[in-house]
Amino acid sequence: MAEPKKLFIKTYGCQMNVYDSSRMAEAMSADGYVLTEDQAEADMVLLNTCHIREKAAEKLYSDLGRLKPMKAEKPDLKIAVAGCVAQAEGEEIVNRMPLVDLVVGPQSYHKLPAMARGEGPRVLTEFPAEDKFDHLPKRATRRAPTAFLTVQEGCDKFCAFCVVPYTRGAEVSRPVERILAEARDLVERGVREITLLGQNVNGWHGAGADGHEWHFGRLIRAIAEIDGLDRIRYTTSHPNDMTDDLIEAHGDEPKLMPYLHLPVQSGSDRVLKAMNRKHTAAEYLRLIERIRAARPDIMLTSDFIAGFPGETDQDHRDTLKLIEDVGYGTAFSFKYSPRPGTPAAGRECVPDDVADARLQEMQALLTRQQKAAQESMVGRRVGVLFEKTGRIEGQMVGKSDYLHSVFVEAPDARIGDLIEVEITHSAANSLAGKLL
Ligand code: SAH
Ligand code: SF4
Ligand code: F3S
């Protein structure tokens, strides 16, 4: 029998890319490719890229540069570029880097095996009408206890800074039955926690089995009915799509975890308007109040951008004030990066050193909040889903309901066990707990 061909995948960017990479691996396995962790032995290298900030996009080119000697030594090596840079730059990638054999955009992954066989175009970045997920082969093997499941793709929000509406296209929701079938299949193969994914996941909607139009909260309840599934999470949501039924689900659906990533980007109404976020800081705070009324212990996280064009010192202080007012469990903050083709790209930038200083100030505050949120867990009892063994003999590592990493001495436990533990200690980026 012929040796299986080896596929090395590097994934950049968000969880949707992580999900897509695993689906592409499955699609390629039908063509005899097995995954390898070792790039040097690969017959095909697939770079699944991110275009969100300049630094993310430039990583592709430095990685391609590093692949040159390997390709020179091994001319049969196939190099493929997928993801959001593929979508945004298309042909330009092969022009700039002729060593690239294939370029495939995020909506065309089902064509990747044919392209790799040489039966397709070299560059494919269409937005076909069909659902790529329909054409990807079903997963087959046993799975880790946690999994991603994409339910929605694309974005119609057009925030002034963001490339996603251009790289991922218009908002599309996958149909209820397909999502439920995939969720059931995951659970049958050992998954106990599913994270529902979408660029605007809470904007998901679709025709329900009962003949009614369902919103995202209803979908969560339907998934929660699957026996053997213990936890549901979702990301990323937009504040304007936090519907009443979703907020209610946070109050009374026990499988929905008390954790919500709800990016606000800025605490200044001027900047929010310039970003085209379509809500004010006060509206966001009022929304947080309603969510906390439904689920008082919910952990909130957000994304922030420092130095958006036109941002003044006062705007920046308004953002710090909003961060203080909300009290986040953790948050991501980024320096504004002008992206080609976006409305904000032509606007005058805040001086670099000013943006850097603001970013640092924001990150210092967010780090303090993260530390406080972790320390507040000490003495509490939380569920931990064990995902792997720790470095110390008998130690297990898993995630708490609030998504904190927790280390527990549990010699008899197995990966996939969900066990209540008492948190005993808070370290830099994790917690320690003991069995009860
Ligand atoms: N759909 C999600 C965000 C996707 S992008 C949402 O609406 O919140 C993830 C994060 O990257 C964004 O929340 C934003 O904070 C950041 N981001 C996006 N474009 C950016 C840019 N041009 N410069 C800096 N940060 C950016
Ligand atoms: Fe980008 Fe805004 Fe859409 Fe989020 S909502 S993906 S930030 S355009
Ligand atoms: Fe990046 Fe595309 Fe995700 S730009 S953040 S990989 S949707």
Distance 352 CA to ligand 3 centre (A): 24
Same domain, yes or no: 90 and 114: yes
Question: Is a pLDDT exceeding 60 seen at residue 1?
Answer: no
Q: Is 164 in the pocket of ligand 2 (CB under 6 A)?
A: yes
Report if residue 341 sits inside a domain: no
Q: Is 155 in the pocket of ligand 2 (CB under 6 A)?
A: yes
How far apart (Å, rounded) are the C-alpha atoms in residues 26 and 141? Answer: 10
Range of the domain at 105: 5-124
Report if residue 16 sits inside a domain: yes
Q: What is the mean pLDDT of residues 116-131?
A: 85
Distance 49 CA to ligand 3 centre (A): 7
Same domain, yes or no: 70 and 148: no
The tokens describing 182, both together, are 């995939």
Q: Are 339 and 299 in contact (CB under 8 A)?
A: no
Chain length of the chain: 436
Question: Is a pLDDT exceeding 60 seen at residue 417?
Answer: yes
Same domain, yes or no: 93 and 148: no
Q: Is 359 in the pocket of ligand 3 (CB under 6 A)?
A: no
**Domain ends where: 204, 231, 257?**
257
Q: Which of the residue ranges 24-33, 85-94, 237-246, 397-406 would you say has the lowest mean pLDDT? A: 24-33
How far apart (Å, rounded) are the C-alpha atoms in residues 67 and 80? Answer: 12
- Residue 406, SS3 per DSSP: strand
Report the pLDDT value the prediction gives residue 130, as an integer from 0 to 100.
66
Tens of pLDDT, residue by residue over 205-215, are: 999 988 899 99
**Residue 45 exposed, middle or buried by CB count within 10 Å (0-12, 13-18, 19+):** buried
Q: Which of the residue ranges 128-132, 176-180, 233-237, 395-399 would you say has the lowest mean pLDDT? A: 128-132
Same domain, yes or no: 113 and 162: no
Report if residue 87 sits inside a domain: yes
Q: What is the CATH number of the domain that holds 431?
A: 2.40.50.140
Instruction: Identify the residue whose tokens are 């119609």.
Output: 156
Same domain, yes or no: 143 and 210: yes
Report if residue 370 sits inside a domain: no
Report if residue 47 sits inside a domain: yes
Same domain, yes or no: 143 and 120: no
Report if residue 313 sits inside a domain: no
Q: Is 87 in the pocket of ligand 3 (CB under 6 A)?
A: no
pTM of the model: 0.95
Q: Is 16 in the pocket of ligand 3 (CB under 6 A)?
A: yes
Same domain, yes or no: 219 and 114: no
Q: Which ligand is closest in space to the CA of residue 198?
A: 1
Q: Which ligand is closest in space to the CA of residue 84?
A: 3
Q: What is the CATH number of the domain that holds 120?
A: 3.40.50.12160
Report the pLDDT value the prediction gives residue 140, as an integer from 0 to 100.
63
Q: Which atom of ligand 1 is nearest to the CA of 339?
A: 22
Q: What is the mean pLDDT of residues 63-75?
A: 95
pLDDT band at 142 (very low <50, low <70, confident <90, very high): confident
Same domain, yes or no: 147 and 223: yes
Distance 186 CA to ligand 1 centre (A): 29
Instruction: Work out the mean pLDDT of the chain and round it to a whole number.
Output: 95
Number of domains comprising the chain: 3
Same domain, yes or no: 163 and 69: no
How far apart (Å, rounded) are the C-alpha atoms in residues 46 and 31? Answer: 15
Q: Which atom of ligand 3 is nearest to the CA of 16?
A: 3
Which residue's CA is the closest to the ligand 1 atom numbered 24? 336
Which residue's CA is the closest to the ligand 3 atom numbered 3? 14
Report if residue 307 sits inside a domain: no
Q: Is 83 in the pocket of ligand 3 (CB under 6 A)?
A: yes
Computed from CA positions of residues 304, 306, 308, 313, in that sequence, does the dihedral angle turn out positive or negative? positive
Pocket test for ligand 2, best of 199, 200, 305 (most atoms within 8 A of CB): 199
